[in-house]
Amino acid sequence: MFSKVVLALALVAGASARQMNIMDQYESASVEEKFAVWKVRFNKSYETPEEEANRFKVFKETVEFVARRRAEGAKSLGLTKFADVPKKEFEAAYLNYIPVRGNTDVSHIDVTQPTSDSTPASKDWRDAGAVTAVKDQGYCGSCWAFSATEQIESQYFLAGNTLTEFSPQQIVSCDTTDAGCNGGDSITAFDYVKSAGGLATEADYPYTSGARGVTGSCQSFTVAGGDVSGYTYATPACTSRKCDSQDEDTLIANIGSTAPASICVDASEWSAYSGGVFDGSCNSGYYQLDHCVQLIGYSGYSGSADSSSDGYYIVRNSWGSDWGEDGMIWLSMGSNACGVATEATFVTIA
């Protein structure tokens, strides 16, 4: 049985994560068999038997956690490529949003008004060519820099320029307000890019911090574009411990007519997200946010977020395309799921 399970998975190892929910396909398999299947699926190997034993212990705990949460109704959870990563290690290496706690007065920041009176039922900015390929921040808490970079890329394109892949490494290494692989905020990243006059391209200043989680020193660079003059909110922001009454209709209208948005969210259970509309646990309060990503669209809007029972947001993550829905996660409308509307921002291209 063991070898047949491994062989069966090896034949489909290239399938996307949502087609490979091991918890469903191998429900009756032992933990050891699930581990063997999972290693083939995600091309995992370990340098020593001791390391493999330690990672298997974490994997077993993850299987138990996912099984319990799925029994509670969280069917979108499964065994992802992070199933052997301990919780604290995951938080330090893949999350690390640090909100601008000392600057909670946001009254001076404008809220962009939607440019259309009619909000489409669905919008995906990939269809307009305004979104670059899914990125992978790797083993570095640089999500905030990736979210900022991706937002600048999209709005630079929408300002009439060629879609360009800019350098998150420049922000990670050169932004001295934030802390590189130890975390930061997309808002302060925008401030850095404004002070730097723009960004180098990814090709000229490639990303290197993801391999070992090292911030790196700032290198000389040539600005290729992406100069920003400021930023606005896509819907009124919240800096409270509870953000349960956010204006999602304005957010949706802005996403539908203006641009994608940089957002910061609570991604504490996203490590186990396998696909579909996320039904795991997360919070929406400002001080519970821990990850920054990009909101690139939505589906199923019926004129009110509260009444769009099947509506969901399309959120682009920076954990590679072998996670979630080809690198995306879908969040339900109407409840400020995971804080999708707590800190949503646009940039203004200079």
Catalytic residue numbers, as ranges: 143, 291, 317
Q: What angle do CA 271, 272, 278 make, to 5 degrees?
A: 100
Are residues 134 and 317 in contact, defined by beta-carbon separation less than 8 angstroms? yes
Helix (H, G, I), strand (E, B) or coil at 340: coil
Question: Can you tell me the distance from the alpha carbon of 270 to that of 290, in angstroms, rounded to the nearest whole number?
Answer: 11
Are residues 280 and 74 in contact, defined by beta-carbon separation less than 8 angstroms? yes
DSSP for 263-280? EEE--TTGGGB-SSB--S
> At 339, which amino acid appears?
G
Question: Can you tell me the distance from the alpha carbon of 112 to that of 345, in angstroms, rounded to the nearest whole number?
Answer: 9
Q: Which phi and psi angles does 333 have, rounded to 5°?
A: -85, 155
For residue 27, how many other CB atoms are within 10 A of its CB? 10
For residue 11, how many other CB atoms are within 10 A of its CB? 9
Question: Can you tell me the distance from the alpha carbon of 210 to that of 296, in angstroms, rounded to the nearest whole number?
Answer: 23
